[in-house]
Structure 1
């Protein structure tokens, strides 16, 4: 599912985070891949920039995405479940 459902009881930013997570876990966005920019996602999904930022924050908190200032957001090199323990 690549569409935001405005009638869903789930928040739009949560829907977007779920869409991006599915693309990451399916391999459509492999590790190290730069995600589309905020502006591109706002146009593609028909959402505001704050919604994109909140969705990316969810993915960062889950360890799926890293954001580098002035470079963008990238899929984490190692998914959270595959990191070696210290």
Structure 2
């Protein structure tokens, strides 16, 4: 399902940039690139890597939290949850 997820934000796509970024990060989580318990790269790194603003990164992380894929610990960062929920479309 996540095999064909692109690694870049498509500025011409109908989906918002934060939705695209959330999909990219979810694909990395579900594929095991970011295993359970792993700390995700920080906001600044994600912002630079994907060419988006920090607000876009925050909104993408909000989506991942809502989907229970990550937890965020103040002053420590965001971590992949130990038990991933089933993928839903």
Interval of TM-score (by shorter of Structure 1 and Structure 2): over 0.9
1:11 paired with 2:23, answer no
**Alignment partner, residue 67 of structure 2:** 62
**Alignment partner, residue 22 of structure 1:** 27
User: What TM-score do the two structures reach when normalised by structure 2?
Assistant: 0.89
Considering fraction of residues, name the structure with more helix.
Answer: 1
**Alignment partner, residue 2 of structure 1:** 7
> Whose radius of gyration is greater, 1 or 2?
1
Distance between the aligned counterparts of 1:58 and 1:12, measured in 2? 12
Structure 2: which 5+ runs fail to align? 1-5
User: What TM-score do the two structures reach when normalised by structure 1?
Assistant: 0.92
Distance between the aligned counterparts of 1:2 and 1:31, measured in 2? 20
- Report how far residue 80 of structure 1 moved: 1.8
**Alignment partner, residue 37 of structure 2:** 32
Moved over 3 A (4+): none
Of 46, 49, 59, which residue of structure 1 is paired with 2:51? 46
